[in-house]
Amino acid sequence: MHRIPRTNYAALHLMRYCLIDPEALMKKLSSKPVCIATILFAFLMITVFQSVCHAKAANTEVQADYLMHRIYARRFIDNYNLHIFQKAHEHAGLTFHRGLTVTRAHGYTTEDDIRRNSNAVGLGPAGMIRWERPISGKLYGDLEFSGSFLIYNKSFPAQGRPWGFMWRIGPRLTWKYTKDNSISLGYMFSHSSNGMRTKNPGHHAFGFSLGFNHSF
């Protein structure tokens, strides 16, 4: 008999709360978008995290980013990100990865010439696609694209919503110094927004990403 992991009981409980008694949950969360985002997050916990937790990991990759605000005026928000990935599939020179993102945003916005604090913490599932080619010896060049769905501890940025997406793309140099270990340095462009037409003060950021990969 298949047993449901304890983490999925929590996800199922959240979905039941939203679908059967949404008013009670909305009183606690104070907004309908949070309820919708909670359903999406719970669904992702069941479908994505279950496979991540129960699959035997062939490797684990950790990436740490520091991304500084760029392009958008009136949005001065920097991001400190931690990504944990596991390679899930490989096809036609591309590798597909799944994992988790934790972000700490720090900064402010100045919409309407009013300074508003936009510090927040976010957590959610992530996916990444990578194209890699050898350069010389143990040195490899990569191009990667990733996306994360994040639940924040409050509306983020200011005048936004308590959930959103983070997209990253950029090149990376990887040094495979042993058969099972490698370190890497990337330069990433990031776009963060919730995809809605209103309450969506998206922002861009650029910066470096340091990575470590270990194969089992």
Q: Last residue of a domain, which of 54, 74, 94?
A: 54
28 and 68 in a single domain? The answer is no
79 and 109 in a single domain? The answer is yes
- Domain total in the chain: 2
Q: How confident is the model at residue 24 (pLDDT cuts 50, 70, 90)?
A: very low
Which is nearest to 156 in space by CA: 167, 166, 169, 146? 166
Q: How far is CA 167 from CA 5, 137, 179, 183, in A?
A: 29, 31, 30, 22
113 and 72 in a single domain? The answer is yes
Estimate to the nearest angstrom the gap between the alpha carbon of 192 and the chain centroid: 10
Residue-number span of the structural domain to which 66 is assigned: 57-215
50 and 99 in a single domain? The answer is no
Q: What is the pLDDT of residue 197?
A: 82
Higher pLDDT, 44 or 160: 160
62 and 33 in a single domain? The answer is no
Q: What angle do CA 12, 17, 18 make, to 5 degrees?
A: 100
50 and 76 in a single domain? The answer is no
21 and 83 in a single domain? The answer is no
Higher pLDDT, 74 or 141: 141
Q: What is the pLDDT of residue 29?
A: 40
108 and 152 in a single domain? The answer is yes
92 and 47 in a single domain? The answer is no
Convert the pLDDT of each residue in 92-148 to its tens digit: 889 999 999 999 999 999 988 899 999 999 999 999 999 999 999 999 999 999 999
Q: Last residue of a domain, which of 37, 54, 71?
A: 54
44 and 71 in a single domain? The answer is no
Cα 140 to Cα 171: distance, rounded to the nearest angstrom? 11
Convert the pLDDT of each residue in 144-163 to its tens digit: 999 999 999 999 998 899 99
Q: Last residue of a domain, which of 27, 54, 81?
A: 54
47 and 118 in a single domain? The answer is no
* CATH value at residue 193: 2.40.160.20
Reading phi first (left if > 0) and then psi (alpha if -120 to 50, else beta), residue 92 is in left
84 and 129 in a single domain? The answer is yes
Three-class secondary structure assignment of 25-36: HHHHHCCHHHHH
Task: Give me the helix-helix angle, 6-20 and 32-44, nearest 10°.
Answer: 150
